[in-house]
Amino acid sequence: MSKNFLKFGYVVALSSILMVSCDSDDDDVNDMEEPATESAKLFASNNSDGNVTVYDMVSGEVSTLTTASTAAEGIYYYDDTDEIIQASRSSNQLNVFADISSLVLNATISATVSSSADLESPRDIAVKDDIIVVADNADVDGNEDTADGRLFIYTRSNGEISLRNVVTTEFALWGIEFVGDDLYAVVDKTNELAVFTSFTASNTADATVSASKRVAIEGIIRTHGLAYDNGTMILTDVGDAASDSDGAFHIVADFDSKFNSVADGGTMAMANNQVRVAGSGTFLGNPVSAEYDAVSNTVFIAEAANGGGRVLTYANADAGGEIVPSTNSTLSKASSLYFYSAAQ
């Protein structure tokens, strides 16, 4: 994928949003300052070499930061300290990399802080203040016929990452996302989404914990990734994991009220609630991770299978259907994403 195409896809989407917002209320034009994006970056992990790929969505530059990992998943960027945290599947620990903005292109980086090697099969990570939660989908009891998973809860303080406690779940895990104090978790191998309300405050000791609520998402076969921003939830559908062409993602606007209106064990209907993006032209096969930027109305997808792995973006996908990606970048065994933007 060309540098200019990467830049074009995101900046055009962002510009269209800003133009609409300004044109919608001409009477107030003197009272408004047009926002300008100062920085917009997409960070990606992969299970091919474990490196971090940084897509600068404004300049169009793509940089590979070489790490000691050979496979990695969950990734998060701390904007206040300019650090990346990544879940390494080869060393089964969390690694922190510092001074990201000052690195030269295609640098080799070393962890400045690492957790102990507590993990077995880390997938997504979610961060809330000084709490880092890692979803681990290793079989807990050794019985494949019983579904289970673990949420490893770490604290970060005084320059260290320490394991606080481990929550065992009654279902297999993949993607996780904080929405306020609540932790949403994909129920792997199903079409369900679970929520643990007031997660960090309510779960301070090692225990097996039931979700506060589980809801099936109509139209999804097997969900993996999720992303939330400004009231909209994105849920991916990997379909048949053996297929590299049957993937999809769902857009759920006004998610909070829609999810809250469904009873525990119920189903969120497709009609009037969700928009599905799918089809061969989407390049979706096994979309394992998602990010969403509400300002530009852009969906970002880590696609693990199609073409060997891709990072895809979709601008203004609200209509649903077979939408061609705005950008399409090859990344072998793409596994996780984190989007960050700053405006002034």
- Which residue from 152, 220, 146, 142 is spatially nearest to 186, judged by alpha carbons? 220
Has domain 3-343 been given CATH number 2.130.10.10? Answer: yes
Chain position carrying tokens 């829609």? 258
Alpha carbons within 13 angstroms on the beta-carbon side of residue 338 total 23
Q: What is the pLDDT of residue 38?
A: 78
Q: Are 60 and 7 in contact (CB under 8 A)?
A: yes
| Ramachandran area for residue 92 (φ above 0: left; ψ -120 to 50: alpha; else beta) | left
Q: What's the whole-model pTM score? A: 0.91
Q: What is the pLDDT of residue 2?
A: 42
Rounded CA-CA distance 210/162 in Å is: 24
Give the model's pLDDT for residue 104: 86
What's the one-letter identity of residue 256?
A: D
Looking at residue 21, what is its pLDDT? Answer: 38
Could you list the mean pLDDT of each consecutive 10-residue stretch along the chain, which spans 344 residues? 49 44 40 62 98 95 97 98 98 98 94 98 98 98 94 96 99 98 98 99 98 99 98 99 97 99 99 98 99 98 99 97 98 99 73
* CA–CA dist 31, 91 (Å, integer): 53
Torsion angles phi and psi, residue 124, rounded to 5: -85, 160
| SS3 sequence of the chain | CCHHHHHHHHHHHHHHHHHHHHHCCHHHHHHCCCCCEEEEEEEEEECCCCCEEEEECCCCCEEEEECCCCCEEEEEEECCCCEEEEEECCCCEEEEECCHHHCCCCCECCCCEECCCCCCCEEEEEEECCEEEEEECCCCCCCCCCCCEEEEEEEEECCEEEEEEEEEECCCEEEEEEECCEEEEEECCCCEEEEECCHHHHCCCCEEECCCEEEEECCCCCEEEEEEECCEEEEEECCCCCCCCCCEEEEECCHHHHHHCCCCCCEECCCCCCEEEECHHHCCCCEEEEEEECCCCEEEEEECCHHHCEEEEEECCCCCECCCCCEEEECCCEEEEEEEEEEC
